[in-house]
Amino acid sequence: MRELSLQVDQLPAAAGQLRAGDRVLLSGRVYTARDAAHKRILQLLDRGEAPPFPLSGAVIYYAGPTPAQQGMAVGSCGPTTSGRMDPFTPRLLDLGVLAMIGKGDRSDAVVDAMVRNGAVYFAAVGGAGALIARCILSSRVVAFDDLGCESVKEMEIRDLPLTVAIDAHGKDLYR
């Protein structure tokens, strides 16, 4: 098990070398999206419209941050259960999503798509949303404002503590 500091823009080169169990402090731009947002993103794609953020090389954090507290970019911002995104994830991985952040195991179809595309799945600590919020430098809604805390947000994070739960080779800590 290794401990690494990584920038999101380093992930394309580093993803294949990350191993399940590695601890990572991740910094850079990520996008939040939960199941309702995923459904809408795929509806946009089905209509031939552009997604609300570039999918190639993207990191999606499965979270719905609460409103910002005084002096903070967001309120609590813990991970949600990733399995709810599994019906949508293989297609997004095939379109270039490079990493996901959440909690809980993933379906065989998601793991197969991760291996096919060299993507990784990071686990964040559930129940630690207030602590995770300290790693978020900025947050702005980029799509689906009507979804409230579940809108798609672009966030800048610094040293978000994560564990590689499933690596790009299919090694899975949950199994």
Catalytic residue among 32, 34, 38, 121: 38
Per-residue pLDDT tens over the stretch 18-30: 999 999 999 999 9
What mean pLDDT do residues 6-32 have?
A: 97
Per-residue pLDDT tens over the stretch 119-158: 999 999 888 888 899 999 999 999 999 999 999 999 999 9
CA-based max dimension of the chain: 44
Say whether 38 is catalytic: yes
Query: What phi and psi values does residue 124 have, to the nearest 5 degrees?
Result: -105, 160
- What is the separation of C-alpha 127 from the centre of its chain, rounded to a whole number of angstroms? 17
Measured distance CA(148)–CA(158) in Å, rounded: 24
pLDDT of amino acid 126: 83
* Closest to 15 (Cα-Cα) out of 147, 126, 117, 123: 117
> Taking the CB of residue 23, how many other CB atoms lie within 10 A of it?
14
Domain covering 3-166 in this structure, CATH number: 3.20.130.10
Beta strands in 8-80 (DSSP E): 23-32, 59-61
Per-residue pLDDT tens over the stretch 80-104: 999 999 999 999 999 999 999 999 9
Query: What phi and psi values does residue 96 have, to the nearest 5 degrees?
Result: 115, -5
Q: Does pTM top 0.85 for this prediction?
A: yes
